């Protein structure tokens, strides 16, 4: 409805912008994040730490993690999670490229930041096993939402929060 009410020139400009974006944006050849260049901005950034690779499901996760401004390392986008029900096996994801990258670059740590769903869990365990021979593999802690109340959290979230506990600084 919003688009129908706009002048034709404006709608044409928007359509063109979408076509351009579709044509120009591909995947980074190193980390598989969305990129207009062969190698994305994060991979090319000279100040970013090469010793850590954070593995995520898709580019939206990279954008979400970038917003926190907490992480200064590199990324690797898997392009999904292992899901036999949907016909997605390890070979459909960017897992081989990750193993190759880790075995060659030898980062000090690989952080697995994959959703705690059943498929995400399977993917985390699978990828973790493949990477363990090359480096230290960690996973992000899952916990309680900020502003949430303990008694309203489901037991999986609560169990994860407990498991991901750390010593007070
Ligand atoms: Zn990249």
Ligand 1 centre to CA of 39 (Å) is 5
Tell me the mean pLDDT in the region 67-87.
94
Ligand 1 centre to CA of 131 (Å) is 19
Residue 35 CA to residue 76 CA, distance in Å, equals 13
- Number of neighbouring beta carbons within 10 Å of residue 122: 16
Please list, in sequence order, all residues whose beta carbon lies within 8 angstroms of the beta carbon of residue 163, skipping any fewer than 6 positions away.
Answer: 141
CA angle in degrees (0–180, nearest 5) for 132-134-135: 70
Which domain does 163 fall in, by range?
Answer: 2-167
Domain of 84, CATH number, reads 3.40.1360.10
Residues 116/142, Cβ–Cβ less than 8 Å:
yes
pLDDT one-digit tens code per residue, 120-165: 999 999 999 999 999 999 998 888 887 878 888 888 888 888 888 8
Residue 8 CA to residue 15 CA, distance in Å, equals 10
Q: Report how many domains make up the chain.
A: 1
Tell me the mean pLDDT in the region 25-38.
95
Q: How confident is the model at residue 50 (pLDDT cuts 50, 70, 90)?
A: very high
CA-closest candidate to residue 132, choices 98, 164, 161, 162:
98
Ligand 1 centre to CA of 62 (Å) is 10
DSSP state of 91: G
Residue 113 CA to residue 142 CA, distance in Å, equals 10
pLDDT at 143: 82
């Amino acid at each position: 409805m919003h688009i129908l009410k706009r002048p034709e020139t404006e709608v044409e400009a928007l359509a063109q912008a979408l076509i351009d974006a579709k044509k120009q944006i591909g995947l980074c050849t190193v980390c598989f994040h969305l990129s207009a260049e062969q190698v994305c901005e994060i991979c090319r950034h000279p100040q970013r730490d090469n010793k850590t690779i954070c593995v995520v499901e898709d580019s939206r996760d990279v954008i979400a993690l970038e917003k926190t401004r907490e992480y200064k390392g590199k990324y690797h986008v898997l392009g999904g999670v292992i899901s036999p029900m949907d016909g997605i096996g390890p070979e459909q994801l960017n897992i081989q490229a990750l193993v190759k990258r880790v075995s060659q670059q030898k980062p000090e740590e690989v952080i697995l930041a994959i959703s705690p769903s059943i498929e995400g869990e399977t993917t985390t365990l699978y990828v973790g096993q493949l990477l363990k021979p090359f480096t230290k593999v960690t996973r992000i802690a899952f916990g309680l939402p900020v502003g949430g109340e303990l008694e309203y959290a489901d037991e999986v979230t609560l169990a994860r929060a407990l498991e991901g506990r750390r010593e007070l600084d």
